[in-house]
Chain A
Amino acid sequence: MDLLEFARGPALQVAAYILVAGVIWRLVGIIFLKEKPEFSEPRKPGGLLAALKVIYTRSFTAHPFKRATLYPKMLAYVLHIGFFAVIFLFVPHIVFFEGFLGFDWPGLPNNVIYFAGVAAVVAGIALLVRRLTNPVLKLISNFDDYFSWFVTLLPIVTGLIMPVRMGVRYETLLAIHILSVAVLMIWLPFGKLGHTFLVFVTRGTTGMVFERRGAKT
């Protein structure tokens, strides 16, 4: 078994098992926690609508912080949109998803994907520089922050190198790319990258709790 066969086969399989088990573990563990006791009469019901409202409103910065957070927020959007385009709109990736979903969707030309990938990497680097140079951010950063950044950018970088080659054989680069994706899949449920599947759960919960307590959302 060569490196590519290992990456496409056992490595991806184990990563998929860990990803599925890990995500469900985290979600079930959180969803079935006991609700916090109410120490005062709820002002409002705090139902699904309250959750949906905060899921939407927290996508934008509150007015007083708009100026202060414009730069990192912009970078974060570039990183996330670029990452999304690279993962879900690159045709070979769509074929990968079609392999187990059974359906496909239209992709984008490779040049657009390369641009999105480069933009995501640049934004990611800028965010890291900010994290390292901002004293407060640096103080509250831990291993999880840096490792999550690393495993997120690694698949994009290894993917972007593939058309360039840089003297390395294509199948080796492809194997490294798939292995980097496997590392991302394994880490995703456990670190801060868990926000991939928890972001709307936590926002929704916040919305419901805040509304019950009468806070403005």
Chain B
Amino acid sequence: MKTIPTLGEILQAQGVSRRGFMKYCAATASLLALPPAMVPRIANALEQARRPSVIWLSFQECTGCTESLTRSSSPTLEGLIFDSISLDYHHTLQAASGDAAEAARHAAMQENMGQYLVLVDGSIPMGNPGFSTIAGISNYDMLMETVDGAAAVVAIGSCAAFGGIPGANPNPTGAVSVQDLVKDKPIVNVPGCPPIPMVITAVLAQFLTFGQLPELDIHGRPTAFFGQTIHDRCYRRPFYEQGRFAETFDDEGARKGWCLFKLGCKGPITYNACATVKWNAGTSFPIESGHPCLGCSEPGFWDKGGFYAPLSTGKFGSGEKLAGAAVAGVALGAAAAVAGRRRQAKYTKEG
């Protein structure tokens, strides 16, 4: 009988030290806002966990989410953990293609019925099944068939979580998110364009550790990572409070690292862990590089009035409509004045 190695055995075989592994567990516990007492439990559960079967479906996407995960830095501990799941289907990464790839997906589904995880990146076009197909199967059919026997679904990236860029106005393909279609399975949204790799692996780690999905916010995102805004944890926040802002990308304020609110930063309404977990092995995040937050982990971020329009800019529509309101005001005022003059004349006459 084939023995399936535990994660602990796999990590040991790959040369990951006990100290490094415990560091990862502590970081995961911290990210998930769990008490330190939970670290040994996470370590124990992860060490004992069997490789869970994961089927990764890619639909209308740019492969940025996969890039984010695989190119985070090499090798990261979270990358190794990710390697240690049984990624049975991922048409960007797998060697097999065509019928062989689809056979692998079906085999994984049958062998792990009710227990496998489905990770989805990309939105699903509903305008026409032919807009996006894999091995002649429409994205919708493949999603619904695959999630049928899944334990849970993780929507990776803003396209899968909220429709993302394919769903942006005018949404030519009728793109929808996973949660728009899948109603009978637990869904975790890990949005971002792309999402932070550590967040993806931590969600999987929690599932492996506790056998359950993390606590979610109103948009189905893990609150441990999406519980605070970028603005809340931004190192430039003091400048916002002091009223010091960069006016352009190359002015004195920009060089001094002042707040990017006036340059369109969406940090105040964007919930994500960029400011704390950061990117490229904790090197930095967009604001640290001098660019305002685009709000990429929020629903409909592409259609929120322009990346470089400050958050407090009102959307008054066209100037013509305001001018129309002014003309209407003049007309009403003139009518009121005429009526008033008539009354005045009447009273003067009655005098």
Cα A127 to Cα B310 with chains together (Å): 36
Determine whether B71 belongs to the interface, using a CB cutoff of 8 Å to chain A: no
Q: Is the CB of B329 within 8 A of A95?
A: no
| Chain A residues within an 8 Å CB radius of B299 | 2
Binding site secondary structure of chain B: helix
Determine whether B314 belongs to the interface, using a CB cutoff of 8 Å to chain A: yes
Q: Kindly specify which of B14-22, B128-136, B196-204, B241-249 makes contact with the partner chain.
A: B241-249
Determine whether A24 belongs to the interface, using a CB cutoff of 8 Å to chain B: yes
26 cross-chain CB contacts under 8 A: A8-B305, A12-B314, A13-B317, A17-B324, A20-B329, A21-B325, A25-B330, A25-B332, A28-B330, A28-B336, A28-B337, A29-B333, A29-B336, A32-B334, A33-B344, A37-B348, A91-B245, A92-B310, A93-B312, A95-B312, A96-B310, A99-B309, A99-B312, A109-B241, A110-B240, A170-B231
Cα A95 to Cα B260 with chains together (Å): 12
Q: Is the CB of A27 within 8 A of B341?
A: no
Cα A171 to Cα B218 with chains together (Å): 12
Q: Provided the pairs A13-B316, A32-B334, A95-B310 are in contact, do residues A20 and B325 lie with their beta carbons within 8 angstroms?
A: yes
Q: Provided the pairs A5-B304, A21-B325, A110-B242 are in contact, do residues A92 and B311 lie with their beta carbons within 8 angstroms?
A: yes
Determine whether B183 belongs to the interface, using a CB cutoff of 8 Å to chain A: no
Q: Is the CB of A24 within 8 A of B337?
A: no
- Interface residue count on the A side (C-beta < 8 Å): 43
| Chain B residues within an 8 Å CB radius of A59 | none
Cα A143 to Cα B268 with chains together (Å): 37
Interface residues of B in 294-341 (CB under 8 A from A): 299-300, 304-305, 309-317, 321-322, 324-326, 328-330, 332-334, 336-337, 340-341
Q: Point out the residue from A16, A21, A25 that lies within 8 Å of B336, measured CB to CB.
A: A25
Determine whether A100 belongs to the interface, using a CB cutoff of 8 Å to chain B: yes
